[in-house]
Chains A and B, each alone.
Chain A
Amino acid sequence: MSIGGLWIMLGAYGAGAAVSILGSRWGNATRVLGHVALLIGALAGLALAIQRLTGGALQTAIHVELPHLFPFANLVLTLDGLSAFFLLVVSIVTIAAAIYGPAYLKAHSGSSPAVEVLGINIFVASMALVLCAGDAMTFLLAWEGMTLASYVLVVSEGKKSNTRAGLIYMIMAHAGTALLMVVFLTLAVHAGSFDFAAMRTAAAALSGTERSVLFFLALVGLGAKAGIVPLHIWLPQAHPAAPSHASALMSGVMLKVAIYGILRLGLDLLAPATGPLPPSWGWIVLVLGAISAIIGVLYALQQHDLKRLLAFHSVENVGIILMGVGMAMLLTHRGGAADALAALGLAAALLHTLNHAAFKGLLFLCAGVVQTATHILNMEELGGLARRMPWTAWLFLIGAVAISALPPLNGFVSEWMTFQTLILASAYLRSGSGLVVIAVAAALALTGGLAAACFVKAFGVTFLGRPRSTHAAEAVEGAPSMLAGMVLLATVCVMIGIMPGYAMVLLDSPVMRLLGGVGPSQLITARGPLVLLASANPGTGTAVSMTAAAVLFGAVALVAWGIVVWPRALARRREPTWTCGMAPQSRFDYTATAFAKPLRFIFALLYQPKRTVRKKTGSTPYVLSQLHWQSDVVDLALVHFYNHVQAGVTRVANAIRQRSTGRIHDYIGFVLITLLVTLLVFGRG
């Protein structure tokens, strides 16, 4: 089955891409067929991943040789535990997106179905290929395919702002790819082959400095894709520009492929053969994670575009994942309690990867339904959607509770594990190192609080109160197939939330593949699947039963509903809200800008808010006839780094343009000078 499953998956994606040929003639059929192929591929991928993950942790990797295309490199697919886990994440979101897609695209006739179907199939197929790559050549080719296909999706609607978002995305992504190529080519020179297995052996012989330089190059390259601050600037522009189910895949899954790259290189290919990793790796990843989490959520708070807000939250969640990864890197192979903590940290990171894919996918799909129903994504013009679209509203609420790391849903479980890793690790490390770890924990707590505030805003302003525009007032519920895709992801959120113990089995083989030792199912669910246990040494640590907690919560709420509220449901009157004697209208509703104002004020140092108010008075200065109010916050990375870089590039380009006279003699002169300098510098050998 295994190898067959791999071929079925890739074949289905390929077929889906091929269907796009029909596009120009039979648009609708193309959409449906393309997404059916996508669904089949994702189901095959899911089956393959689950079979690999539950089939015992130590089984050997699936190994497939691809046709020999290049004289210098064999193309190989290898599916080990780590690949299988990420394939699982990709497949789950893809299934939901494939069910959701056709109805969504039908409602948005912005671009040709051929382009979309081709783009999304190739996009998902390349992600699967990156994960299954057994050599650097396949990895890079699939990585590039992933970038290009997602670029096509970003610009597919053909708006001007999307084109700009796509351009920035391309620049950042290719800068990242260039760094990755440097890393892989260096390794290939040492190994004499592009094969990962050979690279692993060759990397063992590297010196400490070389190893660290390669790792940090790779971290920057992959970080550009993962959206680590300050490499995140493309993300909030590009992700919202794609069709919503493609946004769900980009935000929920593509970032995870970059996380996979960090794990593959940091903990596998570049890791020393024995002994711990250099401490600087773990520390830097940990601190970058903390910064990304806080900055991501702070900027998300000030966004009023629903999809943009969600995209910034991806930066935050990548940060949370990196906290777990950083702890694992820091503690692995130090023996005893540290190994158990490393496994706990990595398990937390991987579980959060899966959780974030589920709830971020869900939220993006909900945003897509809102967009379909109203053609608006600006929260300030929405409002009151819950009564017109109850399903979407409840599903969005589930996603919002999950992403805010609140019990009883899945976000809480993985953040709880991250918290436990941090507290136990700080007690283990002591002194200054322990204090840094505690500061990261405080940052994580702040992130959780800000995320909750942000989603009260996002949910409340979008779905509750009164509609602020006619589009919002006339919204209709999304098609059943769209809702089905969302229900699927919501189910994942709820199931992992109330029964996390059963998901631990899935984490066994990736954790054991990277860290050795015992897997999370033996550490975390040592006391049965209903109890989560976080401990460094046997007999200590914290145990908690999420299942019991969720059952209690539900039972009390049901009893309260049955005894207190429901029997008196009949004695209910509906009256307008009291608005100090005026007729209630939607302008009395709290807006998103107003909601986020206190935090804009408190974190003014990071936001550097700008406000312009223009007043136009009538005949007397006391009567305002017109008021223009505008408020902006800046992205510090953009203002203090990228804008300077851009200005520099523009200045150089201008300087070149001034000297571009259009006369052929000058150009020949330039070429000659360049040749001379090149020969002087490099020609001595």
Chain B
Amino acid sequence: MDQTLTRWILPLIQVVLLVLLGPLVTGLIQKMKARLQCRRGAGILQPYRDLLKLLRKGTVQSDTSGSFFRVVPVLVLGATCAAATLVPVFFAPVTAGHAALLPLGDALLLAGWFALARFLTAIAALDAGGAFGGMGASREMTVATLVEPALILVIFSVAIVAGTTDLRVIAGHPVGMRGSFGAADLLALFAMLILLLAETGRIPVDNPDTHLELTMLHEGMLLEHSGPGFGCLVLAHHIKQIVLIAFVQALFFPWKAANTNPQALVMGLGAFILGTLALSVFLAIVESTYAKLRFFNLPQFLSISLLSSFLAVALRLL
């Protein structure tokens, strides 16, 4: 029974939690942004309402687009959900990675699934044959090439100490294992927060609130989608955001339940909720206080992340 619990039931609960809470985090950030801008804003459940509305609607499809265009949304959702299975939320026993029957939890695979989702979204954007989609795809792929090396370095800066890239093992180690939260962790966290802004498509890298062609990256690619397919893509974006938030916590704030003791589980869940709230506040504040960067200034902004993650690795190794 205990094995079923640790192997199947708890991981499943974690995934379902991520999928269900994804839109809530977006709603929360929107609400906080609205309050910071002295607006009342929509309720925090608005993203759920939007999704339900989209799922009920019919589809208008561009007459130049073909089968790819219809299949891509579900594939993107599939890749994002597959990524969601890889991060621990509140439960990460030390042995999870080493003893699991079919181990899932590798950080590189997580990056891979997100890259696949991005790749497919960009392809669908080119299918509709509008310049906006192409521009969005081109820019999104450009930003992604700059994000990827920094992301790998952040993962490696933690993995060098843990001896593995398995997030369940990294998050499951007692906090004492890595010693105190040192300079290397701080630099890597700084780098990761920049990447979080870029990957969740937020100011100063991208603007999630606009369809103005000069500023949009991710939204530009979704312009031609509609109905349930668009719903899948929007849901995938919500899930991606919360998965990344969970990913930051797994790497840097590994306060997870190490066993199935109810008290530990509640503590782990509480830590996750607090961490998610803190990062949502961070995203909302950054988005309300910064202006969007010009696209060709992004390389400099992202190279700060690359540099600090490289320094983090250097501090670990030297």
Contacts and interface: CB of A to CB of B under 8 A. Distances in A.
Interface of A: 384, 386-387, 390, 393, 397, 401, 404-407, 412, 416, 419-420, 423-424, 426-427, 430-432, 434-435, 438-439, 441-446, 448-450, 452-453, 455-457, 459-461, 464-466, 530-531, 536, 539-545, 547-549, 552-558, 560-561, 564-565, 568-569, 571-579, 584, 586, 588-590, 594-599, 601-602
Interface in B211-248: 224, 227-229, 231-232
Contacts of B144: 449, 452-453
Contact of B104 (A427, A465, A544): A544
A601 B296 contact: yes
B119 A438 contact: no
B313 interface: yes
Interface stretch (B55-63, B177-185, B278-286): B55-63
Contacts of B115: 404, 406, 448-449, 452
14 contacts: A406-B116, A406-B119, A407-B113, A449-B115, A449-B148, A456-B123, A460-B122, A465-B127, A557-B74, A560-B73, A568-B228, A573-B60, A586-B129, A589-B134
Given A453-B142, A556-B81, A556-B82, A430 B163 contact: no
A430 B317 contact: yes
Nearest to A451: B145
B128 interface: yes
A426 B317 contact: yes
B165 A423 contact: yes
Contacts of A590: 126, 131, 133-135, 137-138
Given A416-B108, A456-B122, A466 B129 contact: yes
B252 interface: no
Closest 6 CB pairs of A and B: A590-B134, A557-B78, A460-B126, A571-B58, A449-B145, A453-B141
B296 to A, nearest CB: 6
A565 B314 contact: no
B156 interface: yes
A489 B121 CA distance: 25
Nearest to A572: B59
Nearest to A407: B112
Contacts of A595: 134, 137-138
Contacts of B38: none
A136 to B, nearest CB: 41
Contacts of A556: 77-78, 81-82
A240 B298 CA distance: 36
B126 A464 contact: yes
Nearest to B229: A565
Interface of B: 55, 58-68, 70-71, 73-75, 77-79, 81-82, 85, 97-98, 100, 102-106, 108-109, 112-113, 115-116, 118-119, 122-123, 125-131, 133-135, 137-139, 141-142, 144-149, 151-153, 156, 159-160, 163-166, 169, 224, 227-229, 231-232, 295-296, 299, 306, 310, 313-314, 317-318
B142 A598 contact: yes
Contacts of B314: 435
Contacts of B103: 531, 543-545
Contacts of A406: 112, 115-116, 119
Contacts of B149: 442-443, 445-446, 449
A465 B129 contact: yes
B129 A434 contact: no
A544 B128 CA distance: 36
A453 B142 CA distance: 7
Nearest to A536: B163
Given A560-B77, A572-B227, A598-B142, 17 more contacts: A406-B112, A406-B116, A442-B306, A446-B148, A457-B141, A461-B126, A542-B165, A552-B104, A557-B75, A558-B74, A560-B232, A571-B59, A573-B60, A574-B61, A577-B224, A590-B135, A602-B299
A423 B123 contact: no
Contacts of B102: 530-531, 545, 547-548
Contacts of A442: 149, 152-153, 306, 310
Contact of A427 (B73, B79, B163): B163
Contact of A577 (B64, B79, B148, B299): B64
B148 to A, nearest CB: 4
Given A453-B144, A597-B138, A542 B123 contact: no
Given A453-B144, A545-B104, A602-B299, A412 B112 contact: yes
A536 B164 CA distance: 10
A539 B65 CA distance: 50
A594 B134 contact: yes
Contact of A594 (B59, B138, B151): B138
B147 A449 contact: yes
A109 B160 CA distance: 57
Contacts of A555: 78
Contacts of B100: 543
A547 B116 CA distance: 16
Contacts of A577: 62-64, 128-130, 224
A539 B94 CA distance: 12
A573 B58 contact: yes
A450 B160 CA distance: 25
B123 to A, nearest CB: 5
Contact of A565 (B113, B152, B166, B232): B232
A553 B79 contact: yes
Given A442-B149, A445-B149, A542-B97, A419 B108 contact: yes
A465 B112 contact: no
A568 B227 contact: yes
A456 B306 CA distance: 24
Contact of A589 (B63, B131, B138): B131
Contact of B163 (A431, A452, A541): A541
Contacts of B229: 565
Contacts of B71: 561
Given A571-B59, A590-B135, A460 B123 contact: yes
A427 B228 contact: no
Nearest to B120: A401
Contacts of B113: 407, 549, 553
A426 B159 CA distance: 10
A549 B138 contact: no
B74 A598 contact: no
A490 B219 CA distance: 32
A419 B137 contact: no
A441 to B, nearest CB: 6
Contacts of A420: 108, 165
A558 B74 CA distance: 8
Contacts of B137: 456, 460, 590, 595
A554 B116 CA distance: 13
A536 B160 CA distance: 12
A590 B141 CA distance: 14
Nearest to B227: A568
Contact of B152 (A441, A453, A573): A441
A398 B123 CA distance: 13
Contacts of A427: 159-160, 163
B98 A543 contact: yes
A386 B126 contact: no
Contact of A588 (B66, B106, B131, B231): B131
B39 to A, nearest CB: 29
B82 A542 contact: no
B138 A598 contact: yes
A588 B138 contact: no
Nearest to B161: A427
A438 B77 contact: no
A539 B169 CA distance: 12
Given A423-B160, A442-B310, A572-B58, A544 B106 contact: yes
A452 B141 contact: yes
A535 to B, nearest CB: 8
A298 to B, nearest CB: 10
Contacts of A554: 78
Contacts of B82: 407, 549, 552-553, 556
Which of B97, B122, B151 has the most C-beta atoms of chain A within 10 angstroms of its own C-beta? B122
